[in-house]
Amino acid sequence: MKDTYPIYQLGWFPDFVDADNYLLPFMGNNNFVGAHYCDGTKPADRPCDKEGVLPLLTTEETQSGDARIQAIQNIQKIQATGVLPLLPLLQGTQVAVTQPNISGVQDTLDPTYQFRFWLFSKS
């Protein structure tokens, strides 16, 4: 496609911890990274149609309970064995720099990416 790059760096953080934050921003129609995974002009151009991802994305987005969980699990299996919209080659860690008399930082660095200042204390 004319607007894709062979490789690029993207800093991205989920809004909240939910599988949808790791799927639709990258796989949905007209996704923000321009991966063109599900937005081809005809079904033959859409890997998500060939692999059955588009109906699973719809189920994951609109259903709840077991149907949603099953759809997410199936999408993960397809991503692990099929065509990926993108491949994360570099993953970083969360880092916080403090003074030796500050404690509680280790309690706030987690997958939610929320920096909980109320967990800090100073001695």
Q: What is the pLDDT of residues 28-38, one digit of tens each?
A: 777 777 777 77
Is 42 inside a domain boundary?
yes
| Residue 36 near residue 27 (C-beta atoms within 8 A) | no
Is 103 inside a domain boundary?
yes
**Model confidence band, residue 111 (pLDDT cutoffs 50, 70, 90):** confident
pLDDT in tens, 39-71: 766 666 777 777 888 889 889 989 999 999 999
Is 65 inside a domain boundary?
yes
Q: What predicted TM-score, i.e. pTM, was given to this entire model?
A: 0.63
Contacts of 29 (CB under 8 A, 6+ apart): 38, 39
30/69 same-domain check: yes
62/39 same-domain check: yes
pLDDT at position 1 is 55
Is 63 inside a domain boundary?
yes
The C-alpha atoms of residue 92 and residue 24 are separated, in whole angstroms, by: 21
The C-alpha atoms of residue 117 and residue 102 are separated, in whole angstroms, by: 11
**Structural domain for 25, as ranges:** 19-81
pLDDT at position 4 is 62
- Supply 11's token pair: 């800093």
pLDDT at position 43 is 66
Q: What torsion, rounded to 10 degrees, do the Cα atoms 77, 13, 62, 82 define?
A: -20
Task: Please count the other Cβ atoms lying within 10 Å of the Cβ belonging to residue 8.
Answer: 9
Is 9 inside a domain boundary?
no
Is 7 inside a domain boundary?
no
Report the number of distinct structural domains present in the chain.
2
Contacts of 48 (CB under 8 A, 6+ apart): 27, 37, 38, 54, 57
- Give yes or no for residue 81 having a pLDDT over 60: yes
Instruction: Name the residue with tokens 């949905």.
Output: 28
30/58 same-domain check: yes
More confident residue, 83 or 65: 65
The C-alpha atoms of residue 105 and residue 33 are separated, in whole angstroms, by: 32
- In whole angstroms, what separates CA 35 from the centre of its chain? 13
- Supply 28's token pair: 């949905």
77/99 same-domain check: no
